């Protein structure tokens, strides 16, 4: 049984993580941003020291890609400086830190999914702040597991799937970008993977620290993902109409943030080291769609 300090506990991944850890009979010290503002260094140090945790999992993040362009300071406080303070506290306590990062640290298209050691070059404020968070962790501690993921969806928080379903309640057609490709990732599957990594990292002989990629399969474009969402919603009887998805190019979509055209992640390393199977996001989408409508009806 592990004693885990979990930040961002009420977020999209954090809530799933809490459930997964408790099911594993771990002791979880759950902190949302009100209980622990990770951008406050003194509070982070006190929380880690007082918790007596065996490991820290940082699921706290500023994730609004568009708003980050106007709220740069806030994005960096949470995504760059917060991880730095957690890493410094983890080093002082001599415990591992697991940190969730993003595919948006990449920008280049190389004709294949990005590997952990590929060149990083974030294009938007969100991606740049997350990349600086990674760099700060690496500079401040040695016992770290940075897990990059992408296009996360699930029953908690806000995500693309929920946005599409809300739009279906208002419109008969939506315009969705067709020339950006990535890997939709179920939040629950990511949480389960992080639980496995947590227990492995606490083994006395564990040495496989570093950066890992975890993402769902197969890769897809945003417009294709939207069509899948509407397909499952109609099959389950949650919507009656045939939603029209109009494919548009990223350059024609009104957006302040520049997103990567190809942010597919190579996930071979996490499978080889931790024996973690990567999820097919199709298996999780009906559940997420169903939970959305259950929530709307209650």
Arithmetic mean of pLDDT, 271-279? 97
Does a structural domain hold residue 119? yes
Q: Flag whether pLDDT at 13 surpasses 80.
A: yes
Does a structural domain hold residue 171? no
Q: Give the pLDDT confidence of 26-70 residue by residue, as tens digits.
A: 999 999 999 999 999 999 999 999 999 999 999 999 999 999 999
- Coil/strand/helix, residue 162: helix
Q: Output the average pLDDT for the chain.
A: 96
Arithmetic mean of pLDDT, 179-202? 98
Read off the pLDDT band of 296 (50, 70, 90): confident
Q: Is 238 left (phi over 0), alpha (psi -120 to 50) or beta?
A: alpha
pLDDT of res. 294: 86
Indicate if the alpha-carbon torsion angle 177, 180, 186, 191 is positive or negative: negative
Read off the pLDDT band of 71 (50, 70, 90): very high
Spatial contact of 240 and 234, defined as CB atoms under 8 Å apart: yes
Q: Give the pLDDT confidence of 196-207 residue by residue, as tens digits.
A: 999 999 999 999
Does a structural domain hold residue 239? no
pTM: 0.97
Spatial contact of 7 and 56, defined as CB atoms under 8 Å apart: yes
Does a structural domain hold residue 43? yes
What size, in residues, is the chain? 298
Domain range spanning residue 8?
3-159+185-218+262-279
What are the two backbone dihedrals, phi and then psi, of residue 184, each rounded to the nearest 5 degrees? -60, 140
pLDDT of res. 110: 77
- Catalytic machinery residues: 126
**Total domains present in the chain:** 1
Does a structural domain hold residue 92? yes
Distance CA 106, CA 123 (A): 8
Q: Give the pLDDT confidence of 76-132 residue by residue, as tens digits.
A: 999 999 999 999 999 999 999 999 999 999 987 778 999 999 999 999 999 999 999
Does a structural domain hold residue 107? yes
pLDDT of res. 283: 98
Q: Give the pLDDT confidence of 232-269 residue by residue, as tens digits.
A: 999 999 999 999 999 999 999 999 999 999 999 999 99
Domain harbouring 120, CATH code: 3.40.50.720
Does a structural domain hold residue 142? yes
Does a structural domain hold residue 223? no
Q: Flag whether pLDDT at 173 surpasses 90.
A: yes
């Amino acid at each position: 049984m592990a004693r885990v300090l979990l930040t961002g506990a009420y977020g999209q991944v954090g809530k799933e993580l809490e459930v997964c850890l408790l099911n594993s009979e771990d002791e979880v010290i759950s902190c949302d941003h009100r209980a622990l503002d990770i951008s406050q260094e003194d509070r982070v140090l006190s929380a880690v020291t007082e918790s007596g945790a065996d490991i820290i999992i940082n699921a706290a993040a500023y994730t609004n890609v568009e708003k980050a362009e106007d709220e740069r300071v806030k994005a960096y406080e949470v995504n760059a400086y917060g991880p730095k303070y957690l890493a410094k506290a983890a080093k002082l306590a001599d415990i591992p830190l697991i940190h969730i990062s993003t595919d948006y640290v990449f920008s280049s298209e190389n004709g294949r999914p990005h590997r952990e050691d590929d060149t990083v070059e974030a294009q938007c404020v969100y991606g740049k702040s997350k990349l600086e968070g990674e760099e700060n962790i690496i500079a401040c501690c040695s016992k770290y597991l940075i897990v990059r993921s992408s296009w996360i969806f699930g029953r908690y928080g806000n995500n693309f799937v929920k946005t599409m379903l809300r739009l279906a309640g208002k419109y008969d057609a939506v315009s969705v970008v067709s020339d950006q490709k990535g890997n939709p990732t179920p939040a629950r599957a990511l949480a389960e993977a992080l639980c496995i990594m947590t227990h492995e990292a606490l083994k006395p002989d564990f040495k496989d620290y570093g950066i890992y990629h975890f993402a769902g399969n197969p890769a897809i474009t945003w417009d294709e993902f939207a069509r899948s969402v509407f397909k499952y919603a109609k099959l389950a009887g949650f919507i009656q109409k045939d939603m029209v998805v109009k494919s548009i190019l990223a350059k024609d979509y009104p957006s302040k943030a520049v997103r990567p055209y190809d942010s597919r992640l190579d996930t071979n390393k996490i499978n080889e080291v931790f024996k973690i199977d990567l999820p097919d996001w199709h298996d999780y989408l009906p559940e997420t769609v169903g939970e959305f409508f259950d929530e709307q009806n209650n």
